[in-house]
């Protein structure tokens, strides 16, 4: 075994976190992106700016505000306490919460772009072929936006795997609970364990590269199909 038990646990937590965050993001990001693509609301640009914030903010700033919100004295932390739970800061659930916000633009933007690119026409055609609005969404919009779904899934997943600052701020570094690979690497380097840092870093590098290669290869095949 190349990885130590602690490293392996960190890897598992990372994958679990990324998978869960991506699923949650796809779940509510899809209808949200659909609405953003179709809406003519005049203040839509405000929402677009909010969604894009995690792209430009230093993760520590985002992490800091999340800590304030999720901690025992923050609004969400207090709510959790009053419901008999514990504050979300320094828990895996808190990490999922933070990751969802941190990776939001990476899922919503590709979906919104893909839905916008479809245009109104295919949906109008489907309407004249007896498809109800929900039917049109699932049988026309989703399949036609499939490259957007692929991009959103891979970017959302990979970006969550790569997060560091937010995790450090709200997750702490609890092995088995909130210690993810990026932090484990940091720990190894701090402890001058370069060998283990190499293995983890190299593994992450290769996995990320392969995921992106897969996206671009598959999207290339999709985009060859012209209307």
Cβ 42 to another protein shortest distance, Å: 17
Q: Give CA separation, 89 vs 84, 95, 171, in Å.
A: 15, 8, 6
Looking at the Cβ atoms of 14 and 153, the one nearer to another protein is: 153
Cβ 119 to another protein shortest distance, Å: 9
User: Could you report how far apart the first and last alpha carbons of the chain are, in Å?
Assistant: 50
Looking at the Cβ atoms of 1 and 134, the one nearer to another protein is: 134
Looking at the Cβ atoms of 190 and 226, the one nearer to another protein is: 226
Looking at the Cβ atoms of 82 and 128, the one nearer to another protein is: 128
Structure tokens at 164: 């560091």
Cβ 108 to another protein shortest distance, Å: 22
Looking at the Cβ atoms of 116 and 208, the one nearer to another protein is: 116
From the CB of residue 197, how many other CB atoms can be counted at a distance below 10 Å?
19
Structure tokens at 160: 């969550």
Check: CB of residue 180 under 8 Å from CB of residue 167: yes
Rounded CA-CA distance 38/73 in Å is 39
Cβ 213 to another protein shortest distance, Å: 24
Helices 181-190 and 194-224 pack at an angle, to 10 degrees, of: 150
Cβ 134 to another protein shortest distance, Å: 11
Cβ 143 to another protein shortest distance, Å: 4
Looking at the Cβ atoms of 84 and 130, the one nearer to another protein is: 130
Check: CB of residue 70 under 8 Å from CB of residue 88: yes
Check: CB of residue 29 under 8 Å from CB of residue 155: no
> Which residues in this chain contact another protein in the complex, by CB under 8 A?
121-122, 124-133, 135-136, 139-140, 143-144, 146, 225-227
């Amino acid at each position: 075994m190349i990885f130590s038990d602690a490293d392996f646990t960190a890897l598992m937590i990372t994958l679990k976190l990324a998978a869960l965050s991506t699923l949650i993001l796809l779940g509510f990001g899809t209808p949200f992106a659909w609405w953003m693509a179709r809406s003519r609301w005049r203040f839509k640009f405000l929402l677009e700016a909010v969604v894009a914030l995690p792209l430009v903010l230093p993760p520590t700033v985002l992490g800091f505000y999340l800590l304030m919100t999720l901690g025992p004295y923050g609004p969400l932390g207090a709510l959790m306490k009053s419901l008999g739970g514990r504050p979300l800061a320094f828990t895996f659930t808190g990490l999922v919460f933070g990751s969802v916000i941190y990776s939001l633009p990476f899922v919503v933007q590709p979906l919104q772009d893909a839905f916008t690119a479809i245009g109104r026409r295919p949906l109008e055609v489907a309407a004249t072929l007896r498809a109800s609005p929900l039917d049109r969404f699932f049988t026309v919009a989703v399949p036609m936006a499939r490259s957007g779904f692929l991009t959103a899934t891979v970017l959302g997943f990979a970006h969550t795997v790569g997060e560091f600052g937010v995790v450090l701020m709200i997750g702490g570094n609890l092995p088995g609970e909130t210690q993810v690979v990026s932090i484990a690497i940091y720990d190894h380097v701090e402890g001058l364990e370069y060998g283990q840092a190499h293995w983890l870093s190299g593994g992450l590098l290769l996995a990320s590269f392969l995921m992106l290669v897969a996206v671009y290869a598959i999207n290339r095949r999709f985009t060859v199909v012209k209307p």
